[in-house]
Amino acid sequence: MSRASKTSKANGAYLRRRERKLYRRLKDAILPPAQMARALIKAKRYQQQANEEIFLA
């Protein structure tokens, strides 16, 4: 197993954890709409990045 794939897997797990945390925060609905939209966009971007990294690995 190459180091790169191990790293990207760990990275993907980290991003998923982050995303879960973001969504949990959104569910609590503490955020005002604009901030919520920004958080959703950020979560989407993280997801896309994770997918690309897994695809490249």
With bands split at pLDDT 50, 70 and 90, how would you rate the model's confidence at 49? confident
What are the extents of the domains in the chain?
A: 3-56
Residue 43 near residue 22 (C-beta atoms within 8 A): yes
Q: Do residues 16 and 55 lie in contact, with contact meaning Cβ atoms separated by under 8 Å?
A: no
Token pair for residue 47?
A: 């997801």
Residues 16-41: tens digit of each pLDDT:
888 888 777 666 666 567 777 787 88
Instruction: Note the maximum CA span of the chain.
Output: 45
CA distance 43 to 35: 12
The answer to whether 11 touches 19, Cβ cutoff 8 Å, is no
Cβ–Cβ under 8 Å, residues 36 and 22: no
What is the pLDDT of the chain when averaged over all its residues? Answer: 73
